Amino acid sequence: MTTDTATTVRISTRQLAESAYRALRVAGVPSGVADDAARDTVALEAAHGRGLTVLDDVLHGAPALRVGRCDTESEQVMGDHPDLRRTKADAFLFDAHGSSALLLSSPLVAVLSDRCQGGTIRALAHPAALTAALCRRARRETTCFELATAAGEAVLTVRAGAVIAGPAWGAAWSETHTVRVSLSGATGRRGRSPDSTLSPHTDEGLDVEPAAWQRLQLLAARYLV
């Protein structure tokens, strides 16, 4: 007699992308945000085995994870005198209200990069899910990104699209943190953007957790085209 001890199920990247998009739409996520999040889910699963786990938490966890809203205000910096304050125009303070980075990554990374100095993001869930968007931007503009908690504990560094994990890497996939994103080495040179289109001819498949995949399929099945 044999016992089935398999802890993963093999699926295609296209299956994951399509199911992720449909499930997010059923959950009320706007089309454009769902499209970006589905793409990042695949990228995070393929590179780090974390995409489906984060998506599962977004879909079935606290409602705040799905808010998908991030407010911005200029960061106030104290001057030499306690009564003197100035606005630092090239650094930003964001409030994610507990939203998942999976739903905010593309616009957040775009703003942080365009300002050229990064910024601070309060109450960001799954901050490590910024990894996919940071890698795309780093490859395109030869920029180095560093993501750290407010306490200064490194989450990750991205150089030329390669990810170097820091001490806070593991917790940053499941917890909510205030994080700082800094960047350096931007040359302004724009190369060819990596193709995010998933080709069935290059799809080698993904091994994912069965229960999370089943929950995703059940939710995705409710999507009406």
Amino acid at 22: R
Mean pLDDT over the full length of the chain: 84
**For residues 200-222, average pLDDT:** 88
Look at 41 and 160; give whichever has higher pLDDT: 41
Mean pLDDT of 7-13: 95
Query: Which is higher by pLDDT, 2 or 58?
Result: 58
Q: Report the percent of the chain where pLDDT is more than 90.
A: 65
- Contact predicate 70/94, CB 8 Å: yes
Region 103-122: what's the mean pLDDT? Answer: 87
Q: Classify residue 23 as left (phi > 0), alpha (psi -120 to 50) or beta.
A: alpha
Q: Which residue in this structure is represented by tokens 């699926």?
A: 11
**pLDDT score at 112:** 87
- pLDDT of 4 higher than 70: no
Kindly state the tokens that stand for 16: 């994951």
> Please, are residues 173 and 53 in contact by the beta-carbon 8 Å criterion?
yes
Kindly report the length of the chain: 225
Q: Is the pLDDT of residue 204 over 90?
A: no
Residue 91 confidence (pLDDT): 62
Predicted local distance difference test score (pLDDT) of residue 199: 39
Residue 192 phi/psi, 5-degree rounding, is: -75, 125
| H and E: helices and strands count for the chain | 6, 9
Return d(Cα 174, Cα 209) in angstroms, integer.
Answer: 16
CA distance 142 to 161: 8
- The pLDDT of residue 31 is 96
Rounded Cα distance between 223 and 10, Å, is: 23
CA distance 137 to 109: 8
Q: Where are the domains of the chain?
A: 9-220
CA 169/CA 100 separation, integer angstroms: 16
In this model, does residue 132 exceed pLDDT 90? yes
Q: Tokens in use for 202?
A: 């290059």
Distance CA 144, CA 99 (A): 25
The pTM score is 0.84
pLDDT (mean) for 77-93: 45
Q: Please report the pLDDT score of residue 186 as a whole number.
A: 54
Select the more confidently predicted residue: 113 or 115: 113
d(CA 120, CA 112): 9
| Statement: residue 44 has pLDDT above 50 | yes
**Which of 46-50, 80-84, 119-123, 163-167 is predicted with the least confidence, judged by mean pLDDT?**
80-84
pLDDT at 147 over 90: yes
Check pLDDT > 50 for residue 161. yes
pLDDT at position 116, please?
58
Cα 133 from Cα 105, distance rounded (Å): 6
Dihedral sign (CA 33, 38, 43, 44): positive
Residue 81: per-residue pLDDT: 35
Q: What is the mean pLDDT of residues 110-122?
A: 83
